[in-house]
Structure 1
Amino acid sequence: MSSNNEHGGNIFAVSRQLGLSPGETIDFSASINPLGLSAVVREAIISALDSLIHYPDTSCEELKRALADDHALPAEHFLVANGSTELIYNLPAMLAGRRALIVSPSFSEYAYALEQHNWEISHFILSPKDSFRLDPEKLRDVLGNGYDALYLCNPANPSGIVFPRHLIEQVCDICRDSGTFLVLDEAFIDFCPGATAAPTIAACSNGLVLRSMTKFFAIPGLRLGYAVASPDVIEKLGRVSSPWSVNTLAQAAGVAALGDHKYQSMSLEYLNSQRSWLTEQLSRFRQLTVYPSSANFLLVEISSGCTSTELQGLLLKEHILIRDCSSFVGLSDRFFRIAIRTAEENRRLVECLTILTNENSL
């Protein structure tokens, strides 16, 4: 089953459709750090070019040591991959059982990967009417029906809600009691310092954390992610992983990114400022409801007028791409998601929405 049209970041196909170069389209559909590639990472990639005459380090030892220092965990708790999506697709082959529960709305690739291995999939749907609140006791009751795996994204995608660490720890305990393996996707956790539950999951044998380095460090074209878990879980997942899936340039970029603390601080300061500004501006539109977010994107609901699919089409005429969320389980064609972009790009989006409102198109 192809999922190419089920998530954001399809800028090349959209640009071809519009007859434009990718640089002429403002991509609000992919939640990538708007500051772009850091100078430190760029230099590391250039410096690693001559190493391309050799095969990549299949064990990613230097990057694992850097991750170990960053997380204050031993290196055997990490497995590096060609983006966290590679791990998502390898996981079903490692997991025991056939029934999975996905806390939704959430990333569509969990279901696609599970379906390839004939898993039975159910959804634990969080409601926008309840601000996407996760009730641990209700979750406990549902897991009591016999689920082998639970998929939970924190911060949640597409809502941007960040669940506090104590709640994640409670979910971990519930999964342990019910014999359920917890897959905790922290793809956007770098935008929420201090919220990671990786140390908790690494200390147990019934869970795994997925991490992405492509979003915060703006390297989606390189593909880089990793898993954090107990050494036993890491060893099992490594058995179903492909050799040399992480190229030399990606490994060099990852080591450099983890050490670039100035870029990390600048990114958080800039994104927090722009998220607040964009939330305030969008909240002025009477037909839009902006949900609170701790990530680098906002989920917006349209109360009247056009659908999210129609709005996506209208904005494409202005060379702006947003994420239509009508395909998310638990959402309708009244929801769309936008990334936090540069100040200039964010202003351009608000200007276009104002024009559409004045024309009664929104």
Structure 2
Amino acid sequence: MALPHEHGGNVFAVARNLGLAPERIIDFSASINPLGMAPGVREALTASVDRLLHYPDKGAAELKQALATFHGVETAEIAVANGSTELIHLLPRTFPGRKALVVAPAFAEYALALERAGWQIDYFTLSPTDDFALDAAALAQKLVTGYDILFLCNPGNPAGNLLPLSAVASVIDVCRESGTFLVLDEAFIDFCEEESAKHLIRANPRAVLLRSMTKFFGIPGLRLGYAIAAAETVAQIVAQQDPWNVNTAAQVAGVASLADEDYCRRTRSYIDQERARLAHALSQIPGLQVFPGRANYLLVRILRQGVSARQLREALLAKGILIRDCGNFQGLDTGFFRVAVRLAEENELLVRCLAAEMG
């Protein structure tokens, strides 16, 4: 039975409940690039306002070409979408099957999409005792019992653990041998792009790679994501998509974002340094365990009895800070929460407030 489907980033609803302007809340629950959009995006959006008089480019040709160049793939191997969540919900309806396996803890939308499409869901749950390591041999034993589709996120969400490319290659081989269609969600791989499995996935017609432009490129309000897969797999996905699924502003912002190589370098450098600083500071607070991660967020466990993540969330909200209670993730309990890596001064405020609440 899937747990309730909740998400971070619900800052507008939280602000309404508190009677505050959304700008008054420091949102650590959504893992968005703290540097904001690439500098050229605002200018590109302003310059494209007159394009809104026309329907969006149905095939998103300019964006597809920019993505193909950025990743070194063919345009026929890319399907663009209204956020990667559109694709998560589309895939169970596009490819046949009835039995799904989800590597957990995992993004709640996998289970919701599968439930809505009538799939039976099982979980391959990773353990915090070994930092959510994936045992490929154990996964293979599970898959041979008969699963039609596997959902795997790398880096893991919310754990942040990164499977090296060699381990992902093993999973791809296991899925090929068991006849399981692989959905590999790389929504946060931009922060460690060198570990992307895009070139392995595009060679396999029974696999698809999901990417998001929400997190790394800081444009969640525009809803933009895409899939990379073999051309024949992409053709099947595109055939099921609604027309004009990606609006003009999102297409323009996507092209402008991809063109700024300096922004990409600055983002990776900043997140690597600030994530390390934040992880060290949090680990110094008695009663907290910080898990290693390679994305722009950290998973934290409360070790002190009688303190739950929900209680901590409510206490921090009174100070205008929103964290992600992870108690509704399959495989986690009420002692887990996730925090985004934000600007240095905001991270320092979070650490001070957490230290005060942990006493």
> Does TM-score exceed 0.5, indicating one fold?
yes
CA deviation vs aligned residue, 1:303-334 (integer Å, no higher than 9, x gap): 01410111111111111000000000000000
Q: TM-score, normalised by structure 1?
A: 0.97
Preserved CA contact (<8 Å) 2:3 2:328: no
Letter in 2 for 1:19: G
Distance 2:354 2:272 in 1: 22
Preserved CA contact (<8 Å) 2:286 2:358: no
Deviation at 1:86, TM superposition (A): 0.5
Distance 1:210 1:35 in 2: 23
What is the aligned partner in structure 2 of residue 299 from structure 1?
299
Q: Does 1:41 align with 2:37?
A: no
Q: Does 1:344 align with 2:345?
A: yes
CA deviation vs aligned residue, 1:48-90 (integer Å, no higher than 9, x gap): 1110000000100001111111111111000000000001111
Deviation at 1:233, TM superposition (A): 0.5
Letter in 1 for 2:224: L
Distance 1:56 1:293 in 2: 38
What is the aligned partner in structure 1 of residue 312 from structure 2?
311
**Equivalent position SS for 2:93:** helix
Give the 4+ runs in structure 1 shifted more than 3 A.
2-5
Q: Note closer, same or farther for the CA distance 1:343–1:4 as it changes in structure 2 (3 Å cut).
A: farther
Preserved CA contact (<8 Å) 1:289 1:302: yes
What is the aligned partner in structure 1 of residue 227 from structure 2?
227
Preserved CA contact (<8 Å) 1:301 1:334: yes
Preserved CA contact (<8 Å) 2:3 2:329: no
How many residue pairs are counted as aligned between the two chains? 357
What is the aligned partner in structure 1 of residue 197 from structure 2?
197
Letter in 2 for 1:148: D
Pairing 1:141-290 to 2, within 5 Å after superposition: 141-290=141-290
Deviation at 1:3, TM superposition (A): 9.6
CA deviation vs aligned residue, 1:97-136 (integer Å, no higher than 9, x gap): 1100000001000000010011000000000012101001
Distance 1:175 1:266 in 2: 36
Distance 1:206 1:113 in 2: 19
| Structure 1 vs Structure 2 CA RMSD | 1.2
CA deviation vs aligned residue, 1:245-270 (integer Å, no higher than 9, x gap): 10001001111111101111111111
Deviation at 1:205, TM superposition (A): 0.9
Distance 1:97 1:250 in 2: 33
Deviation at 1:42, TM superposition (A): 1.1
Distance 1:48 1:276 in 2: 39
CA deviation vs aligned residue, 1:158-194 (integer Å, no higher than 9, x gap): 0100100111111001001000000000000001120
**Equivalent position SS for 2:221:** coil
Distance 1:98 1:337 in 2: 32
Q: Does 1:136 align with 2:133?
A: no
Deviation at 1:96, TM superposition (A): 1.2
Gaps (5+ residues) in structure 1? none
Q: Note closer, same or farther for the CA distance 1:3–1:16 as it changes in structure 2 (3 Å cut).
A: farther
Deviation at 1:5, TM superposition (A): 6.0
Distance 2:134 2:95 in 1: 24
Q: Does 1:322 align with 2:333?
A: no
Distance 1:14 1:134 in 2: 35
Distance 1:357 1:29 in 2: 19
Does 309-318 or 348-357 show the bigger shift?
348-357
Letter in 2 for 1:203: A
Distance 2:206 2:217 in 1: 29
What is the aligned partner in structure 2 of residue 114 from structure 1?
114
Q: TM-score, normalised by structure 2?
A: 0.98
Preserved CA contact (<8 Å) 1:3 1:109: no
Preserved CA contact (<8 Å) 1:3 1:112: no
Letter in 2 for 1:100: A
What is the aligned partner in structure 2 of residue 16 from structure 1?
16
What is the aligned partner in structure 2 of residue 333 from structure 1?
334
Preserved CA contact (<8 Å) 2:165 2:195: yes
Q: Note closer, same or farther for the CA distance 1:58–1:84 as it changes in structure 2 (3 Å cut).
A: same
Deviation at 1:354, TM superposition (A): 2.0
Preserved CA contact (<8 Å) 1:151 1:182: yes
